[in-house]
Structure 1
């Protein structure tokens, strides 16, 4: 029975985090997946359902990576059949692309409709064609990247498929587009009904790409997901992906998702802050979380993300994120360390009953000052004292007290509250506070 490898969204040449090692991950993943699940599995052919490359303009090193991965298949007599995706398709009005170059060199066969969306048989002489009939008993049909015009293109391609001469027992088609309902916040996906004309035209296996998450539907539509994660959100726990090793038989399709090839480990950690913590306490908790993961052997050479979220009881700037990130990077020994500081300051809103009468101006001011101070863990214990001090300071300013006296009052107030916070917590009597002129507040 025919057996093939279905992969998509390789993204060779992917660059992020300014890490050359990370860019190599996509090459190593493709190379290992081909070795284990194409060469060693002795498949009849390999499908690349779009986005072999990350960019339309390919660097020499990236092109060399593609050749190093695909040449062993060529030498083993295993044909590689590919289509262009949205990342590597040729721009409108141009006649060539790097996938076309690879096709002209015989490294792969780029299957695509002609300029009128017609499907012509593959020609080794012309190195072009829209479909190919393989000796293993499979007809493979190509397509191109259609974007928003995909539903109309599918309807036309279905008509073209029905017009083809009778071929092998099985028909496989590659199409680079997403199916709705597979990932959130993706409005460009197609409905199942949009793909249905291809099934009615005789397609037994629809090989999709584009969405980096694995899914299948009705044992007919298959998407393996990206070979390697393009972001931390594509880690295997939350976003399963891999390559499909497929067997076709009169009994149907048997597709196994393979994930046991070389991939960079991704560790995502979450830390919820407590508004009663100081900045120093939150920093120590972050360090402890990374130390625990490191002790378990999860973080070394991995991509590690720590997200700090929740409410904090201090100014966001009190936590030195740059220094903390550097320390956690060293502690984890990660290839790439990402620190997301999403915590927000907690806002207190004191309820004031206004059914009987409106509060006085003094009551409103006292409430506002209290909310600001109680929201900050550094001032919470001495908030009552500081509120009274702020009210007194406002009165002094309105009375045009000399500036040096105002500064003296503030210094005395802060000294008294600091002393109170270090003592047994007893409240400071503002009547005992004197300003720099010797007058009582």
Structure 2
């Protein structure tokens, strides 16, 4: 009974948020998942369905992280089969990627179809250095592929035809493919339809190991996508994701999604304001929301989580009056978060008083000033009085009053 570990979208070298510790999270997640679900489980092989790296050009430290994890598998005599994803495929105009380097250095087996335009067969067996498929002693034939982008449906038809022309092999067939299926996440253009993938099923593929979409899903008992190893954004933290521990037996396929490996805690909080609060009350509400989350255990300062707090709604003051940088620093200190993101998405309260078409200039000024003042939480209770004061101030200016006298007038008005 063949057993293997299927993972994808590892993204070693992830550098969003400009945090070295966050970059290490992706390494620790891979290291822990490999130890628990490959080495400890003594699987027959590990399949990486694209995007081992975050970038096509990687830093030395990122390459070292990959080698540390691959060495664990090498020492356990577990072969690693991989394909390139859209993040780590070869840069335009070059002949090799970092996955090709790792392959040539003996760390993994990179399964790449040939180029028929150059007279190469689409699928040739692995010869120790290159090839599009490999027959493993555990009784599985594993096929590779590329990142095809928009040309994926046409490529699938060609791959399926080439598979059917191959000599008979082991009883089970697995294919690594880096592309997304439609209907899984919003705002994803170019997703494949299920019918696009059916030729692979008809060609004998028992298990289609997908990558690319960072959310776990399965389809019809033969298509499996584990999701990303770690969340690449706050929004992705809502997705169920992990790695698949797979067993193929006479009854079919048993794929268990495993999630109990190292992952950084990510928490989202929200404060809704309605325009009645003062600036100080809005700041206090944000702090209270965080403190409540800590008391309930939702935010644990001991694990240095990633926290996002959203302030949404309307404010009764100039929205720029809130010092978001200062508040964010205060919230980060309270939460001891590795990364604290303060999202301030509010509108200023607006009032509009009805005016007749024959309103005089003085009436228009009075209503405009009143509306502006009523929208400000500090001045709204005196809006009518202060509006008249602004009109009087304008008149004093037209009369040529000295600046000192105008200043004194404003002081008296406000006091």
Change (3 A) 1:59 1:401: closer
Which among 168, 171, 180 is matched to residue 169 of structure 1?
A: 171
Match of 1:221 in 2: 223
- Unpaired runs of 5+ residues, structure 1, are 416-441
**What SS class does the counterpart of residue 18 from structure 2 fall into?**
coil
Distance in 2 of aligned mates of 1:213 and 1:347: 41
| Higher deviation after alignment, 194-203 or 343-352 | 343-352
Query: Offset of 1:402 from its aligned partner?
Result: 4.9
Matched-pair contact (CA < 8 Å) for 1:294–1:331? no
Indicate the SS of the match to 1:234: helix
Task: State how 1:163-312 maps to structure 2 within 5 Å.
Answer: 163-235=165-237, 238-297=238-297, 298-300=299-301, 301-312=304-315
CA RMSD of aligned residues (A): 1.7
Distance 1:342 1:154 in 2: 44
Cα deviation per residue 1:254-284 (whole Å; 9 max; x = unaligned)? Answer: 2111110011110111111231111111111
- 1:147 lines up with 2:157 in the alignment: no
What secondary structure does 2:161 align onto?
Answer: helix
Partner SS, residue 214 of structure 2: coil
Which whole-Å CA distance do the structure 1 matches of 2:22 and 2:138 have between them?
37
Aligned-pair CA distance for 1:400: 4.6
Q: Aligned partners of 1:231 and 1:362: how far apart in 2?
A: 53
- Inter-partner Cα distance in structure 2 for 1:361 and 1:255: 75
Query: Is 2:89 aligned against 1:92?
Result: no
Asked if residue 326 in structure 1 is aligned to residue 329 in structure 2, the reply is yes
| Residue pairs, 1:32-71, within 5 angstroms | 32-71=32-71
| 1:358-397 paired onto structure 2 within 5 Å | 358-397=358-397
1:75 aligns with 2:56: no
Matches of 2:309 and 2:269, distance apart in 1: 5
SS in structure 2 of the partner of residue 133 of structure 1: strand
Match of 1:136 in 2: 138
Contact persistence 1:267–1:299 (CA under 8 A): no
Structure 1 residue aligned with 2:126: 122
Question: Normalising by the residue count of structure 2, what TM-score does the alignment of the two structures yield?
Answer: 0.94
Contact kept? 1:5, 1:245, Cα under 8 Å: yes
TM-score, normalization by structure 1: 0.89
Q: CA deviation at 1:22?
A: 1.1
Query: Any idea what SS the aligned residue of 1:344 has?
Result: strand
Question: How many pairs does the alignment contain?
Answer: 408
Deviates more, 1:286-295 or 1:263-272: 286-295
Give distance in 2, aligned partners of 1:309 and 1:262.
32
Change (3 A) 1:47 1:385: same
**5+ long unaligned stretches in structure 2:** none
The CA deviation string for residues 120-164 of structure 1, in whole angstroms up to 9 with x for no partner, is 11111xx11101111212111000111222122111111111111
Give the superposition deviation at 1:413: 1.4
- Please give the alpha-carbon distance, in whole angstroms, between the structure 2 residues aligned to 1:358 and 1:175: 70
Write out per-residue CA displacement over residues 306-361 of structure 1, whole angstroms, 9 at most, x where no aligned residue: 11111111112221111111111111011111111112212222234x5xx54333
Offset at residue 302 of structure 1 (A): 0.6
Q: Distance in 2 between matches of 1:363 and 1:163?
A: 86
- Aligned partner of residue 272 in structure 1, secondary structure: strand
In 2, Cα distance between equivalents of 1:369 and 1:222: 62
